[in-house]
Amino acid sequence: MDIQSLPLPEPFIRACKNKGITSLYPPQAECVHNGLLEGKNLLISIPTASGKTLLAEMAMWSRIGAGGKCLYIVPLRALAAEKYDEFSKKGVIRVGIATGDFDRTDSYLGDNDIIVATSEKTDSLLRNKTPWLSRITCIILDEVHLIGSENRGATLEMVITKLRYTNPGLQVIGLSATIGNPGQLAEWLDAKLVTSSWRPVDLKQGVYYDGKIRFAGSERPVHAKTKHDDLNLCLDTIEEGGQCLVFVSSRRNAEGFAKKAAGALKAGTPDTRELGRQIRKLRDRDEGNLLADCVEKGAAFHHAGLLRQERAIIEEGFRNGFIEVISATPTLAAGLNLPARRVIIRDYSRFSSGLGMVPIPVGEYHQMAGRAGRPHLDPYGEAVLIAKDAPTVERLFDTFIDAETERIDSQCVDDNSLCAHILSLIATGFASDEQALTEFMNRTFYVHQHPKTRSLPRIISDAIRFLTQAEMIHQSEQTLSATSLGNLVSRLYLNPCTARLILENLKPGKTLTLIGLLHVICVSPDMQRLYLKSADTQMLRTFLFKHNDDLILPLPFEQEEEELWLSGLKTALVLGDWADEISEKQIEERYGIGAGDLYNIVDSGKWLLHATERLVSTHIPELGKTIATLATRVHHGIKAELLPLITLRNIGRVRARTLFNAGYPDPESVAKAGVSRIARLIGEGIARQVIEEISGVKKSGKSGFEAENKPEYKPQKLTDIPGIGPKIAQKLQNEGINTISDLLTADKVSLSNILGSARTEKILAILSELTPETGIKAERNESPLREQKITGQSSWEDFGC
DNA sequence: GCCCATGTATTTTAGACAGCATGTC
DNA sequence: CTAAAATACATGGGC
């Protein structure tokens, strides 16, 4: 089928032509025949790299041509960024991206024709009643089979159900890997099912044993260059001019294999050495950098302990053909599109606690195998499993290559996130009584799979009971409504169990310490915890011996709970060290974690501390202040003494520490020191910028030295302060704040309630710069955490719900 | 007493989503 | 119902 003959906007057709795409692949043509461009729902289950993205784009362009707006839902932030780039390149249409870490376009998001978002972000937008969502006329569900994922499937299912509920006539395009029950999923989506195993590059799947790869019907000998089968398979492809992807079961294995491969590759090229340099630059120029050592030779490993930038360099280096082999954990299987001529699935079983080594799902095998063969670049793709003995050869064919893919099952009721979803349904007005909840749930995939279920009413009323007890919803007559707490929890995207855990334990009555607070957050279901190693247990016991009194939660007796408690403590200690300015390298060594892990822990910690502050501030403003301080400390990884400096733009933990140690503990002293002295510490460009900021001078052609002699900025009235106009001033006056000095003595929490926290921060930052000159001392008691008292009691019982 | 080879007990084991603010210069 | 590989430690023998 010729693209030019299709009813698609001209710019899109031109863009395709420029990329060399003139006609459709057979499965793509089938989708067009099935109404892709006429707004029909489709579930498309075809192999990776057979043109799913183009199908999505065709559907979206045709909807946009008809005045519509499209939402492209992906499971990973990295994937969102990739699609965003890809769609943006075509020009003409407006593309936006919405993920948790990437919301700069948020305010104008609704103006875009296409919005790329993660499923969680979409859920969050729904909970915050984002108006433009009702104008969406087409959703693309990338990797829709993830609806069966235990962790995150429920969210995706609820998002789909909600959007279809509010937007009648919505076109739904599901893009799925091969699954066992595609018909059932298609039925639920009211979609036509398109399946095909057609691939643009031929894929050969086989098992290696005893010097040969056995494919169905053919064999291929592999030259035994070394005594390692996995390595030989790898070198075989490289000699032939291809690249290799090796999937293994653990990080250590990934690193081990890359080291082995690097040893065999020996030389490396100028390109790989450059990549190595780039990777070295990312860390403190310390001695051993295994990744850089490997990459220099053209081998790399890939897992979640790496930094994002490291992963990006490796992926790009592989795509450009510089890196010849990557050994990876499943990160790469699910993530970006990174094909290679040969994929080696070396470890086909993985540890699962309580179960031992279990074989990976067939679906996952196919996802890995599907990575073999680069369209237009490789003549064919090979996916190879490695057998350790003769009988295993056949077994591997049976369990993976010739096996049926697993079915997917709805996770939306037995998942512990049901409470959160019920709360959000009530808070956003999807349902205002039990009847409506049931009706809504009847539209889920769960009920489609279990049409005769009778347990649903009980499950729903259990959730309602929990939420009522937690004072998140309120029941009068038959009507359910969210309390202000419930609304807050829903909008903060917090698991209700987490919110309850926090509120139960931060009640007044106990001495609150930094580690005690962090510990509460770290045992919540929303925190990603660290795995406990045996050496940790010893370390934690020692810590407990000395600091048991600092903790709020008592050590539980039951073993399972104890493990959660301890791993939460370990995670809390990591956050504590980070906020105590322990160097990243030291933290990584002390807890045996990678830089990427640290980043993730801090990221989650930041989010949960922010949420905690919001939760607590309403009831105990004093405590809210303390938590806000701590949130800032964890955000930047600084001790309390650096708080004044961190408010400056372009000053992070390192520069703030440099300035502080050189005798400039706050913005005023920095300004007084002048550009030349500060420049010696943090470089002239930054120094100039910072001092300009402190003096409140807008960026202009003026030199930084002039800025030093600028007359002091002395506001007289409230409206003299940038950020405060007549309306805001009126609001403040209504609360009894009439003058600048009132503002300075007012406490931050009540200000936040009047102005919102972002504005308050901004205004306080401005005020803090001028206090000495105005003669008013801003005494914002950031009392040390250890002395903070709160009253009440904490209980262990409701821990973790 | 030291070094190495071998045997035995112990330890370790993937990944990754989410908030903020809605008026003002 | 279900693990396996790497590593740390222990032992023993040769010198």
Give A298-312 as a DSSP string: TEEEE-TTS-HHHHH
Percent of chain A with pLDDT over 90: 62
CB proximity A267–strand C (7 Å threshold):
no
Which pLDDT score is estimated for A154?
95
Distance A665 CA to B7 C1' (A): 61
CB proximity A253–strand C (7 Å threshold):
yes
Strands A473-476 and A479-482: antiparallel
Spatial distance between the Cα atoms of A713 and A721, rounded to a whole number of angstroms: 10
CB proximity A492–strand B (7 Å threshold):
yes
Spatial distance between the Cα atoms of A739 and A270, rounded to a whole number of angstroms: 65
> Which numeric CATH code is attached to A203-401?
3.40.50.300
pLDDT in tens, A371-427: 999 988 899 999 999 998 888 899 999 999 999 999 999 999 976 789 999 999 999
Instruction: Tell me the torsion sign for CA atoms A379, A383, A389, A392.
Output: negative
Which pLDDT score is estimated for A784?
36
Give yes or no for a contact between A124 and A157, defined as CB atoms under 8 angstroms apart.
Answer: no
Alpha helices in A620-703 (DSSP H): 621-636, 643-646, 653-661, 667-673, 675-682, 684-694
What number of helices (H) and strands (E) belong to chain A?
A: 37, 19
Helix/strand/coil percentages in chain A, nearest 5: 55, 10, 35
CB proximity A252–strand C (7 Å threshold):
yes
Which pLDDT score is estimated for A759?
59
Instruction: Return the bridge partners of A385, or none.
Output: A207, A345
Q: Nearest nt (C1') to A356 (CA)?
A: C3
Within 7 Å of a protein beta carbon, the nucleotides of strand C are: 2-7
Q: Fold identical between A3-195 and A418-491? A: no
Residue numbers in A 16-55, CB below 7 Å of strand B:
none
CB neighbourhood size of A560 (10 A): 9
CB proximity A388–strand C (7 Å threshold):
yes
Strands A70-74 and A114-118: parallel
Which pLDDT score is estimated for A747?
52
Give yes or no for a contact between A81 and A117, defined as CB atoms under 8 angstroms apart.
Answer: no
Is the pLDDT at A166 greater than 90? The verdict is: yes
Task: List the structure tokens of A455.
Answer: 């347990």
Distance A263 CA to B7 C1' (A): 30
CB proximity A349–strand B (7 Å threshold):
no
Which pLDDT score is estimated for A513?
87
Spatial distance between the Cα atoms of A252 and A535, rounded to a whole number of angstroms: 18
CB neighbourhood size of A585 (10 A): 12
Radius of gyration, CA atoms only, chain A:
29
- Comparing A693 with A155, the larger pLDDT belongs to A155
Spatial distance between the Cα atoms of A60 and A332, rounded to a whole number of angstroms: 27
Task: List the structure tokens of A679.
Answer: 């420049």
Closest CA to A717 of A698, A737, A734: A737
CB proximity A83–strand B (7 Å threshold):
no
Secondary element (H or E) of residue A542: helix A534-547
Among A174-188, A340-354, A504-518, the range of highest mean pLDDT = A174-188
Q: Nearest nt (C1') to A350 (CA)?
A: B13
Is the pLDDT at A801 greater than 90? The verdict is: no
pLDDT (average), residues A214-230: 89
CB proximity A748–strand B (7 Å threshold):
no
Is the pLDDT at A762 greater than 60? The verdict is: no
Q: State the CATH architecture for A3-195.
A: 3-Layer(aba) Sandwich (3.40)
Alpha helices in A344-474 (DSSP H): 362-369, 390-396, 418-427, 434-441, 445-449, 456-469
Q: Which residue is the nearest neighbor of B20, CA to C1'? A: A758
pLDDT in tens, A72-123: 999 999 999 999 999 998 888 999 999 988 755 556 788 899 999 999 999 9
Q: What fold, for A418-491?
A: Arc Repressor Mutant, subunit A (1.10.10)
Residue numbers in A 551-610, CB below 7 Å of strand B:
592, 600, 603-604, 606-607, 610
Spatial distance between the Cα atoms of A439 and A496, rounded to a whole number of angstroms: 23
Distance A424 CA to B7 C1' (A): 60
User: Which are the contacts of A142, defined by CB distance < 8 A and separation ≥ 6?
Assistant: A52, A56, A72, A73, A74, A75, A79, A83, A175
CB proximity A531–strand B (7 Å threshold):
yes
Instruction: Return the bridge partners of A344, or none.
Output: A246, A384
Q: Nearest nt (C1') to A604 (CA)?
A: B18
- Comparing A679 with A795, the larger pLDDT belongs to A679
Is the pLDDT at A659 greater than 90? The verdict is: yes
Spatial distance between the Cα atoms of A310 and A280, rounded to a whole number of angstroms: 9
Is the pLDDT at A603 greater than 90? The verdict is: yes
Give yes or no for a contact between A610 and A631, defined as CB atoms under 8 angstroms apart.
Answer: yes
Chain center to CA of A640: 28
Task: List the structure tokens of A650.
Answer: 């372009």
Indicate the SS3 state at residue A312. helix
Average pLDDT of every residue of chain A: 86
Chain center to CA of A712: 44
Instruction: Return the bridge partners of A192, or none.
Output: A42
Residue numbers in A 707-726, CB below 7 Å of strand C:
none
Distance A346 CA to B9 C1' (A): 27
Distance A538 CA to B11 C1' (A): 14
pLDDT (average), residues A231-242: 92
Model confidence at A335, pLDDT cuts 50, 70, 90, reads confident
CB proximity A217–strand C (7 Å threshold):
no
Spatial distance between the Cα atoms of A724 and A730, rounded to a whole number of angstroms: 10
Tokens 């003494």 — which residue? A641
Distance A357 CA to C4 C1' (A): 8
Which pLDDT score is estimated for A538?
84
DSSP states along A471-504: TSEEEETTEEEE-HHHHHHHHTT--HHHHHHHHH
Where in chain A are the domains?
Answer: 3-195, 203-401, 418-491
Q: Which residue is the nearest neighbor of B11, CA to C1'? A: A534
- Comparing A626 with A325, the larger pLDDT belongs to A325
Secondary element (H or E) of residue A254: helix A251-265
Model confidence at A744, pLDDT cuts 50, 70, 90, reads low
CB proximity A351–strand C (7 Å threshold):
yes
Which pLDDT score is estimated for A285?
56
pLDDT in tens, A36-68: 999 999 999 998 878 899 999 999 999 999 999
Is the pLDDT at A777 greater than 90? The verdict is: no
pLDDT in tens, A541-579: 889 988 988 899 998 888 788 889 999 999 999 999 999
Q: Which residue is the nearest neighbor of C4, CA to C1'? A: A357
Q: Nearest nt (C1') to A597 (CA)?
A: B16
Distance A356 CA to C2 C1' (A): 6
Within 7 Å of a protein beta carbon, the nucleotides of strand B are: 10-25
Closest CA to A347 of A360, A364, A331: A360
Secondary element (H or E) of residue A386: strand A381-386
CB proximity A356–strand C (7 Å threshold):
yes
pLDDT (average), residues A311-317: 95
Distance A332 CA to C15 C1' (A): 52
Model confidence at A743, pLDDT cuts 50, 70, 90, reads low
Q: Which residue is the nearest neighbor of B15, CA to C1'? A: A331
> Within 13 Å, how many C-alpha atoms sit on residue A70's CB side?
29
What are the two backbone dihedrals, phi and then psi, of residue A352, each rounded to the nearest 5 degrees? -135, 130
Distance A99 CA to B17 C1' (A): 9
Q: Sheet containing A42-45: give its strands across.
A: A95-98, A114-118, A70-74, A138-142, A171-176, A42-45, A192-195
CB proximity A308–strand B (7 Å threshold):
no
Spatial distance between the Cα atoms of A527 and A524, rounded to a whole number of angstroms: 6
Strands A356-359 and A192-195: unpaired
Give yes or no for a contact between A502 and A618, defined as CB atoms under 8 angstroms apart.
Answer: no
Spatial distance between the Cα atoms of A430 and A731, rounded to a whole number of angstroms: 33
Model confidence at A782, pLDDT cuts 50, 70, 90, reads very low
CB proximity A734–strand B (7 Å threshold):
no
Distance A253 CA to B11 C1' (A): 15
Q: Nearest nt (C1') to A149 (CA)?
A: B15
Task: List the structure tokens of A228.
Answer: 């390692």
Distance A252 CA to C5 C1' (A): 11
Spatial distance between the Cα atoms of A80 and A76, rounded to a whole number of angstroms: 6
pLDDT in tens, A3-15: 889 999 999 999 9
Which pLDDT score is estimated for A736?
56
Model confidence at A505, pLDDT cuts 50, 70, 90, reads very high
CB proximity A120–strand B (7 Å threshold):
yes
Which pLDDT score is estimated for A273?
93
- Comparing A588 with A511, the larger pLDDT belongs to A588
Q: Which residue is the nearest neighbor of B12, CA to C1'? A: A533
Does A28 appear as a known binding residue? yes
Q: Sheet containing A381-386: give its strands across.
A: A218-221, A212-215, A203-209, A381-386, A342-345, A244-247, A325-328, A299-302
**Lowest-confidence segment of A270-274, A363-367, A692-696, A781-785 by average pLDDT:** A781-785
Is the pLDDT at A240 greater than 80? The verdict is: yes
DSSP state of A559: H
Is the pLDDT at A282 greater than 80? The verdict is: yes
CB proximity A355–strand C (7 Å threshold):
yes
pLDDT in tens, A674-708: 888 898 898 888 888 888 888 764 443 333 333 33
3-state secondary structure A687-725: HHHHHHHHCCCCCCCCCHHHHHCCCCCCCCCHHHCCCCC
Model confidence at A770, pLDDT cuts 50, 70, 90, reads very low
CB proximity A100–strand B (7 Å threshold):
yes
pLDDT in tens, A413-455: 976 789 999 999 999 999 999 999 999 999 999 999 999 999 9
CB proximity A66–strand C (7 Å threshold):
no
